[in-house]
Structure 1
Amino acid sequence: MKILDRLEEWLIATLMGAATFIIFVAVLHRYLSGLPIPGVQDWLISLNTSWAQEVCIFMFIWMAKFGAAYGVRTGIHVGVDVLINRLDTGWRDRLIVFGLFAGAVFTGTIGSLGAYLVYHLPSDQVSEVTEIPMRWVYLAIPLGSYLMCFRFLQVMVHFIRTGDLPRHDPAHVEGLDDEIAQAQEGKA
Protein backbone atom coordinates (compact mmCIF):
# COMPACT_ATOMS: atom_id res chain seq x y z
CA MET A 1 0.00 0.00 0.00
CA LYS A 2 2.87 2.39 0.76
CA ILE A 3 4.19 1.96 -2.77
CA LEU A 4 0.80 2.97 -4.21
CA ASP A 5 0.57 5.90 -1.77
CA ARG A 6 4.03 7.17 -2.72
CA LEU A 7 3.41 6.64 -6.44
CA GLU A 8 0.20 8.65 -6.18
CA GLU A 9 1.95 11.47 -4.31
CA TRP A 10 4.94 11.42 -6.66
CA LEU A 11 2.71 11.58 -9.75
CA ILE A 12 0.70 14.53 -8.40
CA ALA A 13 3.80 16.46 -7.29
CA THR A 14 5.65 15.81 -10.55
CA LEU A 15 2.71 16.90 -12.69
CA MET A 16 2.17 20.00 -10.57
CA GLY A 17 5.85 20.98 -10.66
CA ALA A 18 6.26 20.30 -14.37
CA ALA A 19 3.08 22.20 -15.30
CA THR A 20 4.16 25.17 -13.19
CA PHE A 21 7.61 25.19 -14.82
CA ILE A 22 6.20 24.92 -18.34
CA ILE A 23 3.73 27.75 -17.74
CA PHE A 24 6.50 29.90 -16.23
CA VAL A 25 8.77 29.33 -19.23
CA ALA A 26 5.95 30.04 -21.71
CA VAL A 27 4.94 33.28 -19.98
CA LEU A 28 8.57 34.36 -19.66
CA HIS A 29 9.05 33.61 -23.35
CA ARG A 30 5.96 35.60 -24.30
CA TYR A 31 7.00 38.73 -22.43
CA LEU A 32 10.74 38.64 -23.08
CA SER A 33 10.22 38.14 -26.83
CA GLY A 34 8.91 41.70 -27.05
CA LEU A 35 12.02 43.29 -25.53
CA PRO A 36 14.23 45.01 -28.09
CA ILE A 37 17.45 43.15 -27.25
CA PRO A 38 19.29 42.28 -30.49
CA GLY A 39 20.17 38.61 -30.77
CA VAL A 40 18.26 37.58 -27.65
CA GLN A 41 14.97 38.74 -29.16
CA ASP A 42 15.63 36.81 -32.38
CA TRP A 43 16.55 33.69 -30.43
CA LEU A 44 13.44 33.93 -28.21
CA ILE A 45 11.15 34.47 -31.19
CA SER A 46 12.61 31.38 -32.84
CA LEU A 47 11.60 29.23 -29.86
CA ASN A 48 8.20 27.61 -30.14
CA THR A 49 6.14 27.30 -26.95
CA SER A 50 2.76 26.96 -28.65
CA TRP A 51 2.49 23.45 -27.20
CA ALA A 52 2.75 24.62 -23.57
CA GLN A 53 -0.92 25.39 -23.00
CA GLU A 54 -2.15 22.08 -24.38
CA VAL A 55 0.38 20.03 -22.44
CA CYS A 56 -0.44 21.87 -19.21
CA ILE A 57 -4.16 21.26 -19.69
CA PHE A 58 -3.48 17.55 -20.10
CA MET A 59 -1.22 17.55 -17.03
CA PHE A 60 -3.90 19.29 -14.96
CA ILE A 61 -6.48 16.69 -16.05
CA TRP A 62 -4.24 13.89 -14.80
CA MET A 63 -3.38 15.83 -11.66
CA ALA A 64 -7.03 16.46 -10.84
CA LYS A 65 -8.07 12.83 -11.27
CA PHE A 66 -5.26 11.47 -9.09
CA GLY A 67 -5.51 14.41 -6.68
CA ALA A 68 -9.15 13.53 -6.00
CA ALA A 69 -8.13 9.98 -5.07
CA TYR A 70 -5.43 11.40 -2.80
CA GLY A 71 -8.05 13.64 -1.23
CA VAL A 72 -10.27 10.68 -0.38
CA ARG A 73 -7.36 8.78 1.14
CA THR A 74 -6.17 11.66 3.32
CA GLY A 75 -9.54 13.10 4.29
CA ILE A 76 -9.23 16.39 2.42
CA HIS A 77 -11.78 15.57 -0.26
CA VAL A 78 -14.91 17.70 -0.15
CA GLY A 79 -17.58 16.36 2.18
CA VAL A 80 -20.61 17.90 3.84
CA ASP A 81 -21.04 16.30 7.22
CA VAL A 82 -22.64 19.03 9.36
CA LEU A 83 -26.00 17.25 9.57
CA ILE A 84 -24.53 13.75 9.73
CA ASN A 85 -22.38 14.66 12.75
CA ARG A 86 -25.50 15.77 14.64
CA LEU A 87 -27.12 12.32 14.36
CA ASP A 88 -26.75 9.60 16.97
CA THR A 89 -23.81 7.26 16.43
CA GLY A 90 -25.79 4.40 14.84
CA TRP A 91 -27.39 6.52 12.13
CA ARG A 92 -24.22 8.54 11.64
CA ASP A 93 -22.13 5.41 11.02
CA ARG A 94 -24.70 3.95 8.59
CA LEU A 95 -24.85 7.17 6.58
CA ILE A 96 -21.06 7.43 6.46
CA VAL A 97 -20.76 3.85 5.17
CA PHE A 98 -23.56 4.52 2.67
CA GLY A 99 -21.85 7.72 1.48
CA LEU A 100 -18.49 5.99 1.07
CA PHE A 101 -20.10 3.07 -0.76
CA ALA A 102 -22.05 5.47 -3.01
CA GLY A 103 -18.78 7.27 -3.79
CA ALA A 104 -17.17 3.94 -4.69
CA VAL A 105 -20.08 2.96 -6.95
CA PHE A 106 -20.10 6.35 -8.65
CA THR A 107 -16.36 6.47 -9.29
CA GLY A 108 -16.34 2.81 -10.36
CA THR A 109 -19.07 3.61 -12.88
CA ILE A 110 -17.15 6.64 -14.16
CA GLY A 111 -14.02 4.49 -14.42
CA SER A 112 -15.88 1.86 -16.44
CA LEU A 113 -17.42 4.44 -18.76
CA GLY A 114 -13.98 6.04 -19.15
CA ALA A 115 -12.43 2.66 -20.00
CA TYR A 116 -15.17 2.12 -22.60
CA LEU A 117 -14.42 5.57 -24.06
CA VAL A 118 -10.67 4.91 -24.24
CA TYR A 119 -11.17 1.45 -25.77
CA HIS A 120 -13.57 2.70 -28.45
CA LEU A 121 -11.68 5.87 -29.30
CA PRO A 122 -10.39 5.92 -32.88
CA SER A 123 -6.67 5.12 -32.83
CA ASP A 124 -5.89 7.97 -35.21
CA GLN A 125 -7.39 10.67 -32.97
CA VAL A 126 -4.59 12.95 -31.76
CA SER A 127 -4.42 16.27 -29.95
CA GLU A 128 -4.42 19.42 -32.04
CA VAL A 129 -1.02 20.92 -31.24
CA THR A 130 1.25 18.19 -29.87
CA GLU A 131 -0.40 15.33 -31.76
CA ILE A 132 -0.40 13.15 -28.64
CA PRO A 133 -2.76 10.19 -29.07
CA MET A 134 -5.94 11.17 -27.22
CA ARG A 135 -6.08 7.70 -25.69
CA TRP A 136 -3.17 8.73 -23.45
CA VAL A 137 -5.01 11.86 -22.36
CA TYR A 138 -8.35 10.15 -21.74
CA LEU A 139 -6.67 7.27 -19.91
CA ALA A 140 -6.68 9.55 -16.86
CA ILE A 141 -10.44 9.00 -16.54
CA PRO A 142 -10.47 5.24 -15.91
CA LEU A 143 -7.16 5.13 -14.03
CA GLY A 144 -7.96 8.07 -11.74
CA SER A 145 -11.57 6.99 -11.22
CA TYR A 146 -10.67 3.38 -10.40
CA LEU A 147 -8.03 4.61 -7.96
CA MET A 148 -10.60 6.89 -6.36
CA CYS A 149 -13.07 3.97 -6.16
CA PHE A 150 -10.39 1.90 -4.46
CA ARG A 151 -9.69 4.73 -2.00
CA PHE A 152 -13.41 5.03 -1.14
CA LEU A 153 -13.55 1.28 -0.46
CA GLN A 154 -10.31 1.46 1.53
CA VAL A 155 -11.64 4.27 3.73
CA MET A 156 -14.98 2.45 4.12
CA VAL A 157 -13.35 -0.80 5.27
CA HIS A 158 -11.11 1.11 7.66
CA PHE A 159 -14.14 2.98 9.05
CA ILE A 160 -16.13 -0.24 9.55
CA ARG A 161 -13.18 -1.84 11.38
CA THR A 162 -12.10 1.11 13.53
CA GLY A 163 -14.79 3.80 13.38
CA ASP A 164 -12.15 6.32 12.26
CA LEU A 165 -12.19 8.48 9.16
CA PRO A 166 -9.06 10.07 7.72
CA ARG A 167 -8.66 13.60 9.04
CA HIS A 168 -6.48 16.25 7.53
CA ASP A 169 -4.43 18.32 9.96
CA PRO A 170 -3.51 21.57 8.18
CA ALA A 171 -0.66 22.10 10.64
CA HIS A 172 0.99 18.78 9.75
CA VAL A 173 3.79 18.83 7.20
CA GLU A 174 5.00 15.36 6.31
CA GLY A 175 8.65 14.86 7.17
CA LEU A 176 8.86 18.14 9.05
CA ASP A 177 7.29 16.77 12.25
CA ASP A 178 10.06 14.14 12.48
CA GLU A 179 12.76 16.81 12.12
CA ILE A 180 11.14 18.98 14.79
CA ALA A 181 10.89 16.02 17.18
CA GLN A 182 14.56 15.14 16.59
CA ALA A 183 15.60 18.74 17.15
CA GLN A 184 13.64 18.89 20.42
CA GLU A 185 15.24 15.63 21.59
CA GLY A 186 18.67 17.10 20.83
CA LYS A 187 17.93 20.14 23.02
CA ALA A 188 16.75 18.06 25.97
Structure 2
Amino acid sequence: MLLRILDRLEETLIASLMAGATLLIFASVVQRFAAGTALLYPYASGFDLTWAQELCIFMFIWMAKFGAAYGVRTGIHVGVDVLVIKLPPRARTAAILFGLFAGALFTASVGTMGARFVYGLMGTDQTTPDLEWPSWTVYLCIPLGSYLMCFRFLQAAWGFWRTGALPHRDLGRVAGVPDAADALEAHP
Protein backbone atom coordinates (compact mmCIF):
# COMPACT_ATOMS: atom_id res chain seq x y z
CA MET A 1 0.00 0.00 0.00
CA LEU A 2 2.71 2.50 1.00
CA LEU A 3 4.85 1.46 -1.96
CA ARG A 4 1.96 2.14 -4.32
CA ILE A 5 1.51 5.59 -2.79
CA LEU A 6 5.24 6.26 -3.17
CA ASP A 7 5.14 5.05 -6.79
CA ARG A 8 2.21 7.33 -7.65
CA LEU A 9 3.76 10.27 -5.80
CA GLU A 10 6.99 9.79 -7.73
CA GLU A 11 5.19 9.56 -11.08
CA THR A 12 2.93 12.53 -10.29
CA LEU A 13 5.88 14.68 -9.24
CA ILE A 14 7.84 13.89 -12.40
CA ALA A 15 4.84 14.42 -14.71
CA SER A 16 3.80 17.64 -12.94
CA LEU A 17 7.30 19.08 -13.12
CA MET A 18 7.58 18.18 -16.80
CA ALA A 19 4.17 19.65 -17.65
CA GLY A 20 4.75 22.75 -15.54
CA ALA A 21 8.15 23.45 -17.09
CA THR A 22 6.76 22.97 -20.59
CA LEU A 23 3.84 25.34 -19.98
CA LEU A 24 6.10 27.91 -18.33
CA ILE A 25 8.58 27.91 -21.21
CA PHE A 26 5.71 28.16 -23.69
CA ALA A 27 4.24 31.15 -21.83
CA SER A 28 7.65 32.78 -21.66
CA VAL A 29 8.22 32.39 -25.40
CA VAL A 30 4.76 33.74 -26.21
CA GLN A 31 5.33 36.70 -23.88
CA ARG A 32 8.70 37.49 -25.50
CA PHE A 33 7.20 37.26 -28.97
CA ALA A 34 4.26 39.45 -28.00
CA ALA A 35 6.54 42.02 -26.36
CA GLY A 36 8.44 42.29 -29.66
CA THR A 37 5.28 43.00 -31.62
CA ALA A 38 4.13 46.62 -31.78
CA LEU A 39 0.46 45.67 -31.58
CA LEU A 40 0.83 43.45 -28.48
CA TYR A 41 3.62 45.33 -26.72
CA PRO A 42 1.33 47.36 -24.43
CA TYR A 43 -0.25 44.14 -23.12
CA ALA A 44 2.80 41.86 -23.03
CA SER A 45 5.20 44.34 -21.48
CA GLY A 46 3.20 44.29 -18.25
CA PHE A 47 4.14 40.66 -17.60
CA ASP A 48 7.58 40.02 -16.17
CA LEU A 49 8.67 36.44 -16.83
CA THR A 50 12.41 36.93 -16.36
CA TRP A 51 12.28 34.38 -13.54
CA ALA A 52 10.79 31.64 -15.78
CA GLN A 53 14.11 30.30 -17.06
CA GLU A 54 15.51 29.90 -13.55
CA LEU A 55 12.38 28.13 -12.34
CA CYS A 56 12.43 25.79 -15.35
CA ILE A 57 16.05 24.88 -14.63
CA PHE A 58 15.11 24.05 -11.04
CA MET A 59 12.13 22.02 -12.21
CA PHE A 60 14.25 20.01 -14.64
CA ILE A 61 16.89 19.34 -11.97
CA TRP A 62 14.24 18.03 -9.57
CA MET A 63 12.69 16.02 -12.40
CA ALA A 64 16.06 14.45 -13.26
CA LYS A 65 16.81 13.43 -9.67
CA PHE A 66 13.43 11.80 -9.16
CA GLY A 67 13.40 10.47 -12.73
CA ALA A 68 16.64 8.60 -12.00
CA ALA A 69 14.93 6.83 -9.09
CA TYR A 70 11.96 6.06 -11.34
CA GLY A 71 14.41 4.61 -13.86
CA VAL A 72 15.80 2.19 -11.28
CA ARG A 73 12.30 1.13 -10.23
CA THR A 74 11.14 0.47 -13.79
CA GLY A 75 14.42 -0.85 -15.20
CA ILE A 76 14.77 1.71 -17.99
CA HIS A 77 18.38 2.70 -17.26
CA VAL A 78 20.87 1.58 -19.86
CA GLY A 79 23.03 -1.27 -18.64
CA VAL A 80 25.92 -3.14 -20.22
CA ASP A 81 25.50 -6.78 -19.30
CA VAL A 82 27.53 -8.47 -22.03
CA LEU A 83 29.90 -10.08 -19.52
CA VAL A 84 27.29 -10.70 -16.82
CA ILE A 85 25.03 -12.82 -19.06
CA LYS A 86 28.01 -15.04 -19.97
CA LEU A 87 28.67 -15.90 -16.30
CA PRO A 88 27.44 -19.11 -14.68
CA PRO A 89 24.12 -18.66 -12.81
CA ARG A 90 25.59 -18.30 -9.30
CA ALA A 91 28.26 -15.84 -10.44
CA ARG A 92 25.65 -13.93 -12.46
CA THR A 93 23.43 -13.59 -9.38
CA ALA A 94 26.40 -12.42 -7.31
CA ALA A 95 27.45 -9.87 -9.97
CA ILE A 96 23.93 -8.47 -10.29
CA LEU A 97 23.49 -8.19 -6.53
CA PHE A 98 26.93 -6.57 -6.24
CA GLY A 99 25.93 -4.00 -8.89
CA LEU A 100 22.64 -3.22 -7.16
CA PHE A 101 24.26 -2.87 -3.73
CA ALA A 102 27.05 -0.75 -5.20
CA GLY A 103 24.40 1.53 -6.72
CA ALA A 104 22.65 1.72 -3.35
CA LEU A 105 25.91 2.55 -1.57
CA PHE A 106 26.84 5.22 -4.11
CA THR A 107 23.42 6.92 -4.01
CA ALA A 108 23.35 6.74 -0.22
CA SER A 109 26.75 8.45 -0.18
CA VAL A 110 25.59 11.16 -2.57
CA GLY A 111 22.43 11.60 -0.51
CA THR A 112 24.40 11.97 2.71
CA MET A 113 26.82 14.48 1.19
CA GLY A 114 23.85 16.34 -0.29
CA ALA A 115 22.09 16.40 3.08
CA ARG A 116 25.19 17.84 4.74
CA PHE A 117 25.46 20.44 1.98
CA VAL A 118 21.79 21.43 2.32
CA TYR A 119 22.11 21.59 6.11
CA GLY A 120 25.09 23.93 5.71
CA LEU A 121 23.16 26.12 3.26
CA MET A 122 20.25 26.41 5.67
CA GLY A 123 22.46 28.44 7.99
CA THR A 124 23.18 31.05 5.31
CA ASP A 125 21.15 33.79 3.67
CA GLN A 126 22.11 32.59 0.18
CA THR A 127 19.24 32.93 -2.31
CA THR A 128 18.66 32.16 -5.96
CA PRO A 129 19.34 35.07 -8.34
CA ASP A 130 15.91 35.65 -9.94
CA LEU A 131 13.37 34.02 -7.65
CA GLU A 132 15.24 34.90 -4.46
CA TRP A 133 14.33 31.57 -2.89
CA PRO A 134 16.59 30.16 -0.19
CA SER A 135 19.24 28.15 -2.06
CA TRP A 136 18.79 25.12 0.14
CA THR A 137 15.28 24.57 -1.26
CA VAL A 138 16.72 24.04 -4.72
CA TYR A 139 19.49 21.71 -3.54
CA LEU A 140 17.11 19.68 -1.40
CA CYS A 141 16.49 17.50 -4.46
CA ILE A 142 19.98 16.01 -4.06
CA PRO A 143 19.42 14.17 -0.78
CA LEU A 144 15.74 13.45 -1.45
CA GLY A 145 16.28 12.09 -4.96
CA SER A 146 19.46 10.21 -4.01
CA TYR A 147 17.89 8.53 -0.98
CA LEU A 148 14.86 7.57 -3.06
CA MET A 149 17.18 6.12 -5.70
CA CYS A 150 19.05 4.21 -2.97
CA PHE A 151 15.74 2.80 -1.77
CA ARG A 152 14.88 1.77 -5.34
CA PHE A 153 18.23 -0.03 -5.70
CA LEU A 154 17.57 -1.92 -2.46
CA GLN A 155 14.02 -2.65 -3.61
CA ALA A 156 15.35 -4.05 -6.91
CA ALA A 157 17.96 -6.13 -5.05
CA TRP A 158 15.31 -7.57 -2.73
CA GLY A 159 13.05 -8.37 -5.68
CA PHE A 160 15.92 -9.99 -7.57
CA TRP A 161 16.90 -12.05 -4.53
CA ARG A 162 13.32 -13.30 -4.13
CA THR A 163 12.38 -13.86 -7.78
CA GLY A 164 15.57 -13.83 -9.83
CA ALA A 165 14.13 -11.11 -12.06
CA LEU A 166 15.17 -7.50 -12.46
CA PRO A 167 12.76 -4.71 -13.32
CA HIS A 168 12.89 -4.17 -17.08
CA ARG A 169 10.97 -2.68 -19.95
CA ASP A 170 10.77 -3.85 -23.52
CA LEU A 171 12.05 -0.71 -25.19
CA GLY A 172 10.99 -2.02 -28.58
CA ARG A 173 7.33 -1.57 -27.64
CA VAL A 174 5.29 1.46 -26.70
CA ALA A 175 2.65 0.92 -24.04
CA GLY A 176 -0.85 1.28 -25.45
CA VAL A 177 0.27 1.15 -29.09
CA PRO A 178 -0.28 -2.22 -30.76
CA ASP A 179 2.54 -3.52 -32.93
CA ALA A 180 2.42 -5.88 -35.89
CA ALA A 181 2.45 -9.03 -33.71
CA ASP A 182 -0.55 -7.77 -31.72
CA ALA A 183 -2.40 -6.97 -34.93
CA LEU A 184 -1.80 -10.50 -36.29
CA GLU A 185 -3.02 -12.08 -33.04
CA ALA A 186 -6.16 -9.95 -33.04
CA HIS A 187 -6.99 -10.57 -36.75
CA PRO A 188 -5.45 -13.85 -37.97
What TM-score do you get using the length of structure 2 for normalisation? 0.88
1:31 Cα deviation (Å)? 1.7
What residue number does 2:110 align with?
A: 110
Structure 1 alignment gaps of length 5 or more: 178-188
Which residue does the alignment assign to 1:165?
166
The corresponding residue for 2:8 is 6
Match of 2:132 in 1: 131
5+ residue gaps, structure 2, are 178-188
Query: Equivalences for 1:79-158 in 2 at 5 Å?
Result: 79-121=79-121, 122-158=123-159
| Paired residue type of 2:92 | R
Aligned length: 173
Q: Secondary structure at the match of 2:45?
A: helix
Local SS of the residue matching 2:129: coil
| 1:39-79 CA distance string (max 9 Å, x none) | x2111022101000000000011000000000000000232
Note the C-alpha offset of 1:32. Answer: 2.1
Match of 1:29 among 14, 28, 31: 31
Please list the CA deviations of residues 7-50 of structure 1 after superposition, one character each: whole Å capped at 9, or x if unmatched: 0000000000000000111111112221221xx21110221010
Letter in 1 for 2:31: H
Residue 172 of structure 1: CA displacement? 4.8
Dislocated runs of 4+, deviation >4 Å:
none
Q: Distance in 2 between matches of 1:15 and 1:35?
A: 30
> In structure 1, the residue corresponding to 2:160 is in which secondary structure?
helix
The superposition leaves residues 90-126 of structure 1 with CA deviations (integer Å, 9 ceiling, x where unpaired) of: 1111110000000000000000000000111133111
Q: Distance in 2 between matches of 1:13 and 1:144?
A: 15
Report the equivalent of 1:181. Answer: none
Identity of aligned residues (%): 56
Instruction: Indicate the RMSD between aligned Cα atoms, in angstroms.
Output: 1.3
Residue of structure 2 in register with 1:180 after alignment: none
Q: Which amino acid aligns with 2:96?
A: I
Question: Aligned pair 1:65/2:56, yes or no?
Answer: no
The CA distance in 2 between the partners of 1:82 and 1:11, in whole Å, is 34
